[in-house]
Amino acid sequence: MLSIIPVFGVYAGGNFVEQWALPLQFGALYLFVSGSEWTTGKPILWRTILIGCLGASAFLLRPNLIGVWIAIWTCWMVADWRSGLLRTFYLFLAVSAILGAVSLYFASHQAFSQIWDAAFAYNIAYSSASGHWKRIRAILRGMGVVQAWPLVAGSWVLALYTGAFKHRKPDASPNLLWPAVLLLPIEMALTGVSGRDYPHYYLAWLPAVAMLTGYFAWWLMHFTQQEGIEAVAGYGRSSHFRAASARIFLFTLTAGTALALLPAWQAAADRPKTKSRTFEVAEFVKSETSTEDTILVWGAEGYIYYLSGRRSPTRFFYQYPLVTARYTNDSLGREFVAAFRQHLPRIIIDTKNPLLPPLSTTERTGWQQGESGYSTLPSSMEPFFSLLDQNYIHVRDFSDWAVYMLR
């Protein structure tokens, strides 16, 4: 329960990339601790290969979701660098096999350049569009977005203290103490790479949160037992002192957690309003179009396609690639316009995204981008706005979203 509380505010309905990586992350951690013989023999071979396969799968979902595997590999190398090198070799074989098979599949369908462009070229440009301060701000934002952060931070300090004074380095036998200590800062750094603070990005922190809060619960139970804290941290105190200290520590973390939850409660109160608009737009689209019609969502709210059961006229079902610095170019703009002209959408929804110019002619005049680090639309996109002005009329609004329909 302690490990789930901190992510209530970032799950936001689910179906995010980070969600599908969670079974891979927890699976790798289970394999890490599931055996006691890690220094010799077959357990190294098959467990390490499975961990590598899971890591390659997470990498294919998104490259910065490999924090668990960095932590595991670090523990292996520090515990025993000789067996760590052997495990590294097995990891390399497993990762190469998975990535090679996927590459061959796309190459056989003449789509290797597209998967490379989507998985690497765009992600590199997307991340490089943010400065160092934005990356730091994204990490700090995670401390506020992840509910019960005081509990998580306190558990990390406790685990670090215990590890530093009792387990000065990872043991040869697997345990989750040092992976828990290592994983939280690793995930924080990897999440901050993009410089964006979308709440679902912080789902990747859940394995670290689960291990740390689980360790805290275990420590708290042992702290108040008769055998004393010396079994946990290496020194002794009276049972009354231990019990009182545990209550004070628990009260402090609980009070801090309650304060951290207040913004999340407010956000939960506002969320039904946003969901209501989304479903209203989807229902309107379904009532005014057929399944053969296309629609265009001008912005990043791609879930409208799913809710309405309608397709996008172009592969740019959201338009961030068209304004991403070091990625966008006139060729992409011409591709967008050609696909739009060939499959004129029945309906266009302008979500008034601050990165994109509004579709209203009057609102476009003098418009300025609402966030730095992005480029303006390529000049080759101008025919799109001409087609829009000639062929579409504004029919209604849903809150601040504007809906345009083909004449």
pLDDT along the chain (407 residues), means of 10: 52 74 92 63 76 96 94 89 89 96 95 89 83 85 78 87 65 68 94 85 89 82 56 49 58 57 51 68 95 95 92 94 91 96 96 92 82 83 94 94 95
What would the two tokens of residue 263 be?
């913004």
What's the CA gap between 148 and 324, in Å, rounded? 34
Residue 65 main-chain phi, psi, to 5 deg: -100, 25
Q: What is the pLDDT of residue 272?
A: 45
Q: What is the pLDDT of residue 45?
A: 82
pTM here is: 0.78
What's the CA gap between 245 and 379, in Å, rounded? 66
Q: What is the pLDDT of residue 228?
A: 45
Cα angle, residue 187 at apex, residues 182 and 188 outer, rounded to 5°? 105
Q: What is the pLDDT of residue 14?
A: 66
What's the CA gap between 89 and 174, in Å, rounded? 19
Q: Taking the domains of the chain in order of start, what are their residue ranges?
A: 5-263, 289-406
